[in-house]
């Protein structure tokens, strides 16, 4: 049986336009022994352009990568992206995540905080992180500290020899790596993580591995950051990126050229996924017969390209409609959400028909096993989510978040459209465009 991980609350500050802390709830405050997330599976985040919806997604992705990738802050491109993403005024990004889980010992709630800062040397460092475990489930119950790092040093974790070993092992490293990335080294040194602090540290790493974040290509600036660094003519940077490219191939990372590079051992699994993808796409395009895979060898790797098979003709995925390509790109991450993982998707509604969008969200509301959190501009999903609890949050241009509460027959779509959501008045009138885009009397 897969362990349950459920995100209860997020608190974020210092990312892009979000200067002051915002809080996004995913569940009610009081967690009882009969914890039941069935009515809290889906969260839609709405807000005006530039209000910070994508920034929320980006902050979550940064947190998970800090927790899982020991080399994340050592990568020059990541450094460039972080410098562009962290709020220019605060120069400090903070992400707090509260999550519920249970293992063979029973249920528990943990709270994790990560702080990144831009140093005087112009590099982003991990200024500190902290993991706490709640005693009991009630919101008023206190937390007990599991571990804490400050200014690159381990301040608290377990007791005795294990603490001494960890403090010495992580010396001068915790400014560039999360303490969670040292789990393998701790175990390889012969220390057990079966104590309460050890189990909770392990749960943090598993929690991060269960989070998937999909950000729209228009807001994924990694290529731009790489090109800017390339202009610096740094051999070190180019060599670093070459190594990362080879690693990404072995990890079967999907490229924008519609080619996927996998190892030979991954081929059976990849073919199985292609079969499932074909069945998924046929829901939207019944005339699709199959998705074929064209491969060519490149040393120990296979370069794969997907081809759509229809009656009487074949079509390279590159030339498929934007909507179908979007659905194909989302398949793996939607599949992850259906199987119990925590998924964040930015701009879920872009290039997807309203009817398809609503039915996908309805599926996760009724049948999903994990969590789906998405941002959107399309208001139609509100009709699906209006009766679910904690399912719609509005973020305003002044960094406030208001979560919809069902009140009689009130309609969240109408309330939002008509400017009745606090701090989110849409005060734009058609006449405002006169004189800017031209008008009826322009030639008079």
Residue 438 has pLDDT above 80, yes or no: no
pLDDT in tens, 46-70: 998 888 999 999 999 999 999 999 9
| Under 8 Å between Cβ of 146 and 197 | yes
Residue 145 has pLDDT above 90, yes or no: yes
Q: Residue 34 has what pLDDT?
A: 75
**Which of the two residues, 112 and 431, has the higher pLDDT score?**
112
| Under 8 Å between Cβ of 76 and 229 | yes
Mean pLDDT, range 12-19, rounded to an integer: 95
31-35, 109-113, 279-283, 438-442: range with lowest mean pLDDT? 438-442
The CA–CA distances, whole Å, from 278 to 170, 239, 293, 334 equal 47, 38, 11, 14
Residue range(s) in the chain whose domain bears CATH number 3.40.50.300: 1-238+341-425
Q: Residue 229 has what pLDDT?
A: 53
Task: Please state whether the predicted TM-score (pTM) of the whole model is above 0.75.
Answer: yes
For residue 425, name the pLDDT band (cuts at 50, 70, 90): confident
Q: What percent of the chain has pLDDT over 70?
A: 87
Residue 242 has pLDDT above 70, yes or no: no
Residue 18 tokens read as: 């979000």
Q: Which of 372, 81, 108, 78 lies closest to 214, judged by CA?
A: 372
Mean pLDDT, range 233-251, rounded to an integer: 44
pLDDT in tens, 294-353: 999 988 889 999 999 999 999 999 999 999 999 999 999 999 999 999 999 999 999 999
Q: Residue 245 has what pLDDT?
A: 43
What is the topology classification, in CATH, of domain 252-339? Alpha-Beta Plaits (3.30.70)
Dihedral of CA 208/209/215/217: which sign?
positive
The rounded distance, in Å, linking the Cα atoms of 124 and 289 is 50
Q: CB atoms < 10 A from the CB of 185, how many? A: 14
Q: Residue 219 has what pLDDT?
A: 55
Q: Residue 1 has what pLDDT?
A: 47
**Beta strands 124-134; 106-118: pairing state:** antiparallel
Q: Residue 256 has what pLDDT?
A: 40
Q: Which of 169, 158, 231, 224 lies closest to 192, judged by CA?
A: 158
**What is the homologous superfamily of the domain 1-238+341-425 according to CATH?**
P-loop containing nucleotide triphosphate hydrolases (3.40.50.300)
- Within 19-69, where are the H helices? 53-68
**Which of the two residues, 239 and 214, has the higher pLDDT score?**
214
| Under 8 Å between Cβ of 365 and 36 | no
Q: Residue 246 has what pLDDT?
A: 38
Three-state SS across 342-398? Answer: EEEECCCCCCCCHHHHHHHHHHHHHCCCCEEEEECCCCCHHHHHCCCCCCEEEECCC
Mean pLDDT, range 9-35, rounded to an integer: 90
Mean pLDDT, range 77-87, rounded to an integer: 94
Residue 223 has pLDDT above 70, yes or no: no
Question: What b/e sequence results for 397-426 when a residue is b if at least 16 CB atoms lie within 10 Å of its CB, and e otherwise?
Answer: eebebebbeeeeeeebeebbeeeebebbee
pLDDT in tens, 175-217: 999 999 999 999 889 888 887 788 899 999 999 999 999 997 6
Q: What is the maximum span of the chain, computed from C-alpha positions, in angstroms? A: 86
Q: Residue 231 has what pLDDT?
A: 53
Residue 444 has pLDDT above 80, yes or no: no
423: left (phi over 0), alpha (psi -120 to 50) or beta: left
Residue range(s) in the chain whose domain bears CATH number 3.30.70: 252-339
User: What DSSP line would sit under 157-188, residue for residue?
Assistant: ESSHHHHHHHHHHTTTTTTTS-GGGGHHHHHH
Q: Which of 271, 266, 270, 290 lies closest to 280, judged by CA?
A: 290
Residue 81 has pLDDT above 60, yes or no: yes
CA angle 72, 73, 76 (to 5 degrees): 95
State residue 387 phi and psi, 5-degree precision: -95, -5
């Amino acid at each position: 049986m897969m362990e349950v991980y459920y995100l209860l609350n997020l608190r974020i500050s210092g990312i892009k336009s979000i200067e002051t802390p915002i809080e996004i709830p995913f569940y009610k405050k009081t967690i009882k022994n009969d914890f039941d997330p069935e009515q809290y599976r889906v969260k839609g985040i709405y807000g005006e352009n530039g209000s910070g919806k994508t920034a929320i997604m980006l902050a979550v992705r940064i947190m998970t990568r800090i927790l899982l990738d020991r080399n994340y802050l050592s990568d020059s491109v990541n450094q460039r992206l972080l410098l562009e993403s962290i709020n220019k005024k605060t120069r400090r990004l903070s992400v707090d995540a509260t999550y519920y889980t249970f293992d063979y010992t029973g249920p528990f709630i943990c709270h994790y905080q990560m702080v990144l800062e831009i140093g005087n040397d112009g590099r982003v460092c991990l200024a500190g992180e902290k993991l706490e475990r709640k005693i009991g489930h009630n919101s008023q119950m206190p937390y007990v500290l599991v571990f804490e790092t400050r200014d690159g040093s381990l301040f608290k974790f377990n007791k005795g020899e294990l603490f001494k070993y960890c403090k010495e092992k992580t010396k001068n490293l915790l400014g560039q790596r999360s303490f969670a990335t040292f789990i393998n080294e701790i175990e390889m040194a012969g220390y057990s993580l079966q104590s309460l602090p050890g189990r909770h540290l392990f749960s943090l790493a598993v929690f991060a591995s269960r989070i998937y974040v999909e950000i729209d290509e228009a807001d994924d600036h990694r290529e731009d950051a790489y090109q800017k660094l390339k202009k610096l003519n740094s051999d070190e940077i180019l060599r670093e990126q070459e190594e990362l490219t080879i690693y990404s191939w072995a990890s079967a990372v999907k490229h924008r050229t519609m080619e996927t590079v996998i190892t030979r051992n991954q081929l059976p699994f990849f073919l199985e996924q292609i079969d499932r993808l074909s069945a998924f796409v046929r829901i939207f395009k019944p005339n699709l017969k199959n998705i074929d895979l064209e491969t060519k060898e490149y040393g120990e790797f296979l370069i794969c390209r997907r081809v759509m098979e229809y009656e009487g003709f074949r079509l390279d995925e590159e030339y498929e409609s934007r909507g179908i390509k979007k659905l194909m790109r989302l398949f793996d991450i939607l599949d992850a959400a259906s199987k119990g993982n925590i998924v964040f998707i930015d701009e879920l509604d872009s290039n997807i028909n309203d009817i398809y969008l609503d039915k996908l969200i309805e599926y996760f509301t009724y049948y999903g096993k994990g969590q789906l959190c998405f941002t959107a501009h399309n208001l139609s999903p509100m009709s699906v989510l209006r009766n679910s609890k904690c399912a719609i949050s509005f973020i305003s241009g002044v960094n406030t978040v208001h979560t919809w509460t069902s009140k009689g027959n009130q309609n969240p779509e109408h309330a939002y459209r008509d400017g009745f959501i606090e701090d989110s008045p849409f005060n734009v009138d058609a006449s405002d465009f006169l004189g800017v885009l031209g008008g009826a009397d322009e030639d008079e």
